[in-house]
Structure 1
Amino acid sequence: MREHDLIAADGTRIRGWQTESDGPVVLLCPGLGTIPEAWPALLLPSSGVRVLSWYHRGTMGSDRPADPDRITLDDHVADAIAVMDAAGVARCVVMGWSMGVMVATELATRHPERVSGLMLTAGVPGDLFGGMLGVLGVPAPVRRPVALTTARALRFAGPLVDAVLHRVPVNRVTATAMRYSGFMLPGAATADVAAALRRFLRHDWRWYVTLALALADVPDRDLAGITCPVTVLAARYDILADPRRSTVAASVLPDARVRVLPTSHFLPMEAPKVIVDELGLLVERALTADSRAAS
């Protein structure tokens, strides 16, 4: 994996990254503030694809925009396009995880000519905060206000959160504790969890929550207009993205493959082989669909 800088449509400097593997190009719309280490199987040459991605504005080397309000869904979609353009990629399979599902589906809706296939992993296409807490049995009408109140409290306490999380030692003990926390499940490898935590905990947490809250008004999305092949991987024990919301959203699509896996929200780390296998199948489906459309 190597990193590089590119300039977004509004002039913001974005830090992109890509793998050096051979194979078809796949654009990864990342989960909020996540890092390549969260996708261990995609970093290996055996993944069969070359992955393009980026770090969100103000995180991991990407600049904050000059206008602090330029962190909306529109801006994230524009950044995704900028990553593709910088790599000279006109059209490819697009995948998203968590918040990245919103970006990936919006990209496919607005720019269908750029998206040959779509993989949606442990995320909802809209109403980010309303999609939380469903597997805990929290009633639907109160999920959004509870999640929003919690996020606003975390933003207010950002400096205190930084002071704590920036001092947490990352080793086998803390990684194992995370794997058995219930927020994450033991399917993830300890070494992979430690590698991801080492960078993720270093966020400016007030800014991190600000990025999330900037998406709070994005409504639930109807995906009916998407016609490319779609794969949905939902996580049965996902606290942050209700798997029922993910599967219902896909039910209107004519060419959707849906799987519900026994994982937490961290499906890319807990089921890495499934990610690679399903991505390979989706690439083949996308190539077949493009061939039929051209004939």
Structure 2
Amino acid sequence: MTEHFQHVVRGSGPGLLLAHGGGGSVEGNFGPILDDLARTHTVVGPDYPGSGATPRGDRPLDLDEVADELVAIAVGAGLERFAILGYSLGTAVAVRATTRHPDRVTGLVLTSGFARLDNRIRLAVDVWAALLDGDRELLAKFLTLMAAGGRHLESLTPEQLDAAVAGLAAFIPAGSPEQVGLVSQVDTRAELAAIAVPALVIATTLDGLASPALSRELADGIPGAQLVEIEAGHNIGGEAPGEWLAAIQKFLGGL
């Protein structure tokens, strides 16, 4: 790609490449578990254009190019082979990286993911893209409504809810239009059967954006994949980081 993805390298041990979600970042999506992952692995976390410290690009994102760039960054950081932890859009990036670079990838963890858009995601992406041109607080309210599990959402006081919305409004990455555009193009269904590495699919059962049924489709499509269900919304890192981390560590420990 013409853009160079900024990235973090943390820890030591077997390689673990992170692929974050659309409109997210490495810190935003993996921050609550990053320190723990780095205790056992060399973690490489690239930010897509317009997220984190990576400058926004001047053209649409392409899934092949994003996947290739992430693999190149991992190799450049000294990892010859590595597992990939993908979240949301990052699950499609992880799948594509695996099918394009099968000699590099040792295992997959796919969280809150999808191999295709269902009507819920399609509608959400359309609204998300339209709101990017307008009121950021309104966009943050929409994303909070979609991403938060009902149990977590109703546990917040009005003041906490206002603070969460304000924090999200301030976080929205500059590269969101291109990243949301990439979400709208995802279809990796034809690739799943070719994946020959161990895979763990983590479904977020209270997810209002990427339904658990889409995670089940991923698990059904990948030969031998394990499926774990965690009671959380799309924002699993904010709602159930301990359960998420435990599932990831158990799987990676068996590779």
1:57 to 28, 49, 52: 49
Q: Which of 129, 132, 144 in structure 2 is aligned with 1:155?
A: 132
Change over 3 Å in CA distance of 1:271–1:261 after alignment to 2: same
Secondary structure of the corresponding residue to residue 150 of structure 1: helix
The runs of at least 4 consecutive aligned structure 1 residues that moved more than 6 Å come to 186-189
Q: Which residue of 2 aligns with 1:237?
A: 206
Report if the CA contact (8 A) 1:35-1:199 is conserved. Answer: no
- The alignment status of 1:185 with 2:175, answered yes or no, reads no
Which of the residues 5, 21, 33 maps onto 1:14? 5
RMSD: 3.5
Q: Deviations over 1:72-122 (max 9, x none)?
A: 212211221122122011111111001101100111111111110000001
Counterpart residue number, 1:3: none
Distance 1:252 1:202 in 2: 34
User: C-alpha distance in 1, partners of 2:76/2:127?
Assistant: 37
Is contact 2:148–2:208 with CA below 8 Å preserved after alignment? no
* Residues 184, 27 of structure 1: alpha-carbon distance in 2 compared, 3 angstrom cutoff: farther
Shift in CA distance, 46/14, structure 1 to aligned 2, threshold 3 Å: closer
Shift of 1:216: 1.6
Q: Distance in 1 between matches of 2:45 and 2:168?
A: 16
Computing the radius of gyration over CA atoms, which structure comes out larger, 1 or 2?
Answer: 1
How far apart are the structure 2 equivalents of 1:108 and 1:188?
A: 39
SS in 2 for 1:279: helix
Q: Where does the alignment leave 5 or more consecutive residues of structure 1 unmatched? A: 1-9, 134-142, 169-176, 287-295
115 and 13 in structure 1: CA distance in 2 versus 1, 3 angstrom threshold = same
Inter-CA distance 155–112: structure 2 relative to 1 (3 Å threshold): same
Q: Deviations over 1:124-146 (max 9, x none)?
A: 1233xx2x63xxxxxxxxx62x3
**2:244 is aligned with 1:275:** yes
Q: Which residue of 2 aligns with 1:26?
A: 16
Aligned to 1:225: 194
Q: Distance in 2 between matches of 1:100 and 1:184?
A: 25
Aligned to 1:94: 84
TM superposition score normalised by structure 1:
0.71
Match for residue 140 of structure 1?
Answer: none
Distance, in Å, in 1 between the alignment partners of 2:65 and 2:188 is 18
2:189–2:221 contact (8 Å) kept in structure 1: no
What code does the residue aligned with 2:244 have?
I
Q: What one-letter code is carried by the residue in structure 2 that aligns with 1:61?
A: A
| Aligned equivalent of 2:184, options 216, 230, 235 | 216
Distance 1:274 1:187, change over 3 A: farther
Moved more, 40-49 or 116-125: 40-49
Percent identity of paired positions between Structure 1 and Structure 2: 26
Shift in alpha-carbon separation, 1:54–1:184, aligned structure 2, 3 A: farther
Query: How many equivalent residue pairs?
Result: 245
Match of 1:289 in 2: none
Match of 1:174 in 2: none
- Tell me, in whole angstroms, the C-alpha distance in 2 between the residues paired with 1:47 and 1:122: 24
Query: 1:293 aligns to what?
Result: none
Q: 1:261 aligns with which of 221, 230, 248?
A: 230
1:165 Cα shift?
7.8
**1:116 aligned to 2:93?**
no
Question: Residues of 1 paired with 2:18 and 2:75: CA distance?
Answer: 14
In the superposition, relative to structure 1, how do residues 221 and 201 fare at CA in structure 2: closer, same or farther (>3 Å)? Answer: farther
After superposition, the Cα gap between the structure-2 partners of 1:149 and 1:270, relative to the gap in structure 1 and judged at 3 Å, is: closer
> Residue 225 of structure 1: CA displacement?
0.8
